[in-house]
Amino acid sequence: MEKVTVPNIIEKKKRNEKIVMITAYDAATANVIDETGIDIILVGDSLGNVIQGLNNTLPVTMDEMVYHTKIVSRGVRNAHLCSDMPFMSYQASREDAIRNAGRFVKGGAESVKIEINENYIEAIYAIQKAGIPVMGHIGLCPQSVLLMGGYKVQGRNVREAKRLIELAKAVEHAGAYSIVLESIPWKLAKKITESIEIPTIGIGAGPHCDGQVLVINDLVGLSPEPIPKFVKRYANLREIMAKSIKEFRDEVRDGIFPSINHSYN
Ligand code: KIV
- Look at the pTM and tell me if it is higher than 0.95: yes
Mutation test of ligand 1: which of 52, 213, 214 has the most ligand atoms closer than 8 Å to its C-beta? Answer: 213
What is the pLDDT averaged over residues 228-237? 97
Helix H segments across the chain? 6-14, 27-35, 47-50, 62-73, 94-106, 121-129, 145-148, 158-173, 186-195, 216-219, 237-253
**215 CB near ligand 1 (under 6 Å):** yes
- Mean pLDDT, rounded, for 108-134: 97
Cα(214) to ligand 1 centroid in Å equals 8
Q: Name the residue among 79, 143, 138, 64 with its Cα closest to residue 109.
A: 79
Contact 209, 202 (CB under 8 A): yes
Q: How far is the CA of 35 from the centre of ligand 1 (A)?
A: 21
Interstrand relation of 211-214 and 134-139 (parallel, antiparallel or unpaired) = unpaired
**pLDDT computed for residue 1 by the predictor:** 79
Average pLDDT, the chain: 97
Distance 239 CA to ligand 1 centre (A): 24
- Of ligand 1's atoms, which has the minimum distance to the CA of residue 23? 3
Q: Is 213 in the pocket of ligand 1 (CB under 6 A)?
A: yes
Determine the average pLDDT of the residues in 213-237. 96
- For residues 218 and 146, give the distance between their C-alpha atoms in angstroms, rounded to a whole number: 24
Per residue in 58-95, pLDDT tens? 999 999 999 999 999 999 999 999 999 999 999 999 99
